Structure 1
Amino acid sequence: MGGMVGFLYRQLTFAPKPLPADISLLGKTVLITGGNAGLGLEAAKEMAAHNISRIILGVRNLSKGEAAKAEILTQSPNCDVLAWELDQESFPSMQAFAERAAVELDRLDIVILCAGVKLLEFIKSKSTGHEMNVQVNHIGTALLSLLLLDPLQRTPKADPGQPTRLTVVTSEVHFWTEFEQKDAPNTLARLDEPSLFGKGMDRYNTSKLLNVLWLRELSSRVGPELIVNGVNPGLCASTLHRSDTTPGIKSFNRIFAWTSVQGGHNLVDAAVQHSEAQGAYLSEQGIKNPSPFVISAQGKQAQTKLWNETVALLQEQLPGVNLLKNHV
């Protein structure tokens, strides 16, 4: 994996499949960030069709969340669908969202961390001061993965037998970055320097590599009752690309991109199937090797370094919260 020719070949020849019809999710609760549009919404609709009992949509815009809720209920009127406000540029918003989940949910079986951005120019978050791809795709995702451990780990204690699931949406583009910032004294601080943003999709690609490194470290720290994995949904014609004005991108996507529905199939497959996939990278609905860098000794060092830097940054933002209390 990782080469452009192979990537294009798989996009043209592989057809993502929906969850088998005989799988029932009755009684389970799923939480999906970025669930009001694109792949997140399609994943929610598919899981609702498999009788999942409750869906929590983490959305930045509540009116759009309510519209997504109505769309799901049109197809699956018996599902309990809730739209909760969530802004991954805001540490207080993420903390409040996770606290709400811990208090209001009697169980949490599946989390799909799908919210993300793809920005091709340097934009600093007005809320946090961090570069936006890194803030939303890595820092926000990492914080939520820690804050949601409490309800995820409570569920199998009350209902033994089935581990809960945490799936991070990453991408094959994690193969396509040099990640020179890994050698900086502080990688996350270096990623906030405008002069080192890179060209084209490089920063987005790097943020997806950070996802893979983070989930692999997290998976090594949680017990067997929580399965942590990452999924490459493939190139899909979704709202993720709304800011991409690269010449020819629309024509390219018309030829090679899967639909958002097909991308949703890949998310649901990763979140429901592959019970052996602890710390795994899933692509084309199977367990695949991540990039050679990720599994190298240098990659392991970068993984540990990223974990330590990220936890320190998050702890500074949430000084009264013990982020590592849940067996990490």
Structure 2
Amino acid sequence: MSNLWNFISMVWYQLTFKPQPLPDDIRLEGQTAIVTGSNVGLGFEAAKELASHGLSRLILAVRDPAKGEAARAEIAQAAPECDVRVWSLDQESWASMVAFAARVRTELDRVDVALLNAGLKRLDFGRSPTGHEAHVQVNYLGTALLSLLLVEPLRRTARQTRKPGRMTITASSVAFWARVREVREPKGGKGILAWLDDPASFVPGDSHYCLSKLLDVFWTRALAARLDPADIIVNTLNPGYCRSSFHRVDSQAEAFGQYLAWSSAEGAYHVTDAAVRHPDSHGAYLSEQRVRPVSRFISSAQGKEVQQKLWDETIAVFREECPEANIKEFTSD
């Protein structure tokens, strides 16, 4: 019944809500933004919109530098005053993420906005080179590690400018469609992440994609609880159902999207809106360009227990598999 209601709600807002671009009076002169997964789809459109509002410097963090250069050329043509750079970032590689963060710290004098948008969608089980299930690695662990690695440069800028930095994680309303028993009661006595890495947990289709977005919502709330919003405002968002190459592996979603989906640019309006507006949205979930409640499970006492367990497991993974990340600030609890 819950998922039926979620589906009806999704259809309703897709049909009745009109996403709006950033108002013209929002200006970003002097600011630097990092956008992951920005060579195509929502990430590209969001990066292009930020650049159009006077952004001084834009880092396109992409897995494929050649595709990133094509995106850079298009954005630079539309916003020639913006310094657009393409930096390599592979969220299936711990070393790549650590190297990217080191480059941020040493080459950028400021970071005002970090838009963590990179992700993938598959319908069959796949394992990342790190050994983790692909959705768990890219959509969740990669995003989570990068969020920790970017705290210091965002905080440093915030204290220099006396204006909080913004970190925004792209999630989805499908987070509330996920099979919560997989995180509430992992089988075989395993932890949440170990169970989701097990092929036995995988149901063909988009189940692990949905679960990875649920993990993103939990992570955003856990991270926000550990950061001062005077330094960094962290939130997550639902960009809606959009037409983009992201769904190319899912013919059913692509067919359904012909009737309901927004354009990639309209989906990106949600992303940029969450990244630069809503100053009171710390730890919040945004949908339809406003703060919305999370599911009852996430906000319940049991959900909070899962959130803490997930945090502890995630930090343990980073300490074991990527000690060079040096995330000591977040290992005390």
Q: TM-score, normalised by structure 1?
A: 0.96
Q: CA deviation at 1:324?
A: 3.6
Q: Which residue of 2 aligns with 1:237?
A: 243
Q: Which residue of 2 aligns with 1:290?
A: 294
The correspondence for 2:223, drawn from 207, 212, 218, is: 218
Secondary structure at the aligned position of 2:295 is classed as coil
The correspondence for 1:85, drawn from 85, 88, 96, is: 88
Q: CA deviation at 1:181?
A: 2.6
Q: Which residue of 2 aligns with 1:37?
A: 40
User: Superposition pairs for residues 10-21 of structure 1, below 5 Å?
Assistant: 10-21=13-24
Q: CA deviation at 1:265?
A: 0.6
Deviations 1:79-115 (A, max 9, x none): 0000000000000001000110011110000001000
C-alpha spacing 1:299/1:124, structure 2 compared with 1 (3 Å)? same
User: Is 2:248–2:254's contact at 8 Å kept on the other side of the alignment?
Assistant: no
Q: CA deviation at 1:326?
A: 6.9
Q: CA deviation at 1:323?
A: 0.8
Secondary structure at the aligned position of 1:4 is classed as helix
Query: Comparing 2-11 with 272-281, which one deviates more in the overlay?
Result: 2-11
Secondary structure at the aligned position of 1:9 is classed as helix
Secondary structure at the aligned position of 1:78 is classed as coil
Q: Which residue of 2 aligns with 1:146?
A: 148
Alpha-carbon separation, structure 1, partners of 2:72 and 2:279: 29
Moved runs in structure 1, 4+ residues, more than 3 A?
none
Q: CA deviation at 1:74?
A: 1.1
Q: CA deviation at 1:292?
A: 1.2
User: Is 1:24–1:52's contact at 8 Å kept on the other side of the alignment?
Assistant: yes
Q: Which residue of 2 aligns with 1:114?
A: 117
Alpha-carbon separation, structure 2, partners of 1:116 and 1:320: 23
User: Is 2:238–2:287's contact at 8 Å kept on the other side of the alignment?
Assistant: yes
Q: Which residue of 2 aligns with 1:130?
A: 132
Seq. identity, %: 49
C-alpha spacing 1:5/1:100, structure 2 compared with 1 (3 Å)? same
Deviations 1:38-70 (A, max 9, x none): 000101111111000000011000000000000
Q: CA deviation at 1:325?
A: 2.2
Secondary structure at the aligned position of 2:169 is classed as strand
User: Superposition pairs for residues 172-211 of structure 1, below 5 Å?
Assistant: 172-182=173-183, 183-184=185-186, 185-211=190-216
Deviations 1:116-173 (A, max 9, x none): 0011110111x2011101110000000000011110110011111x100000000000
Alpha-carbon separation, structure 1, partners of 2:93 and 2:149: 14
Secondary structure at the aligned position of 2:86 is classed as strand
Q: Which residue of 2 aligns with 1:259?
A: 263
The correspondence for 2:313, drawn from 294, 309, 312, is: 309
User: Is 1:150–1:326's contact at 8 Å kept on the other side of the alignment?
Assistant: no
Secondary structure at the aligned position of 1:20 is classed as coil
Secondary structure at the aligned position of 2:297 is classed as coil
Q: CA deviation at 1:327?
A: 9.8
Q: Which residue of 2 aligns with 1:170?
A: 171
| Matched residue count | 324
User: Is 2:98–2:324's contact at 8 Å kept on the other side of the alignment?
Assistant: no
Q: CA deviation at 1:322?
A: 2.6
User: Superposition pairs for residues 47-58 of structure 1, below 5 Å?
Assistant: 47-58=50-61
Q: CA deviation at 1:239?
A: 1.8
Alpha-carbon separation, structure 1, partners of 2:196 and 2:285: 24
**Unpaired segments of 5 or more residues in structure 2?**
none
RMSD: 1.4
Larger helix share, 1 or 2:
2
Q: Which residue of 1 aligns with 2:283?
A: 279
Q: CA deviation at 1:75?
A: 0.5
